[in-house]
Amino acid sequence: MNFPYSVFPLRSEELVKIKRKALQRKIWYRVLSKIERIQINLTIKIVDRVRSTYLAKVLHAIVKKLIAAMETPVKRLMREVGISLARKTSEIGEKLGCKSARKWAEDWGFIQFLTIIYMNTPVLYK
């Protein structure tokens, strides 16, 4: 997720939510260094809304790290493998004359379906 800093302003409430989720999933201490945890905690305590672009860049890197660690294996594979599988399947469907095949590449249910099939395919056949 690449968010421009002006589109995704950081607020202390959002940081608290992310911190709570990270603590619940037991990745707060495992993924972040002590300095990164301190930066988040100080920002939560002192700042209501981040205005400094430098602080926003630092916090975005930390938040991105946490979000990546909280991502489930299926979601990660959907992003890495499923989307390309759906595009290829969509192109094949279009070449075979199916008019609705163009929509397959954007259908998240179909992408998830293809990803789960990919996950359950033996390594020998991949």
pLDDT in tens, 35-52: 999 999 999 999 999 888
pLDDT surpasses 80 at 8: no
In terms of pLDDT, which residue wins out, 8 or 6? 8
How far apart CA 105 and CA 110 sit, in angstroms, is 8
How far apart CA 54 and CA 105 sit, in angstroms, is 37
Q: Nearest to residue 35, comparing CAs of 58, 14, 18, 12?
A: 58
CA distances from 4 to 16, 29, 50, 57 (A): 21, 27, 14, 10
Q: What pLDDT is attached to residue 123?
A: 85
Helix, strand or coil, per DSSP, at residue 107? coil
How far apart CA 15 and CA 67 sit, in angstroms, is 12
Q: What pLDDT is attached to residue 4?
A: 45
Q: What pLDDT is attached to residue 114?
A: 95
Model confidence pLDDT, tens digit, residues 52-108? 889 999 999 999 999 999 988 899 999 999 999 999 999 999 999 998 999 999 999
Residue 98 has φ and ψ, to the nearest 5°, of -80, 115
Q: Which residue has the tokens 């690449």?
A: 2
Q: Which residue has the tokens 């209501």?
A: 48
Residue 55: is it exposed, middle or buried by C-beta count within 10 angstroms (0-12/13-18/19+)?
A: middle
How much is the mean pLDDT over the chain? Answer: 90
pLDDT surpasses 70 at 1: no
End-to-end, the C-alpha distance of the chain in Å comes to 28
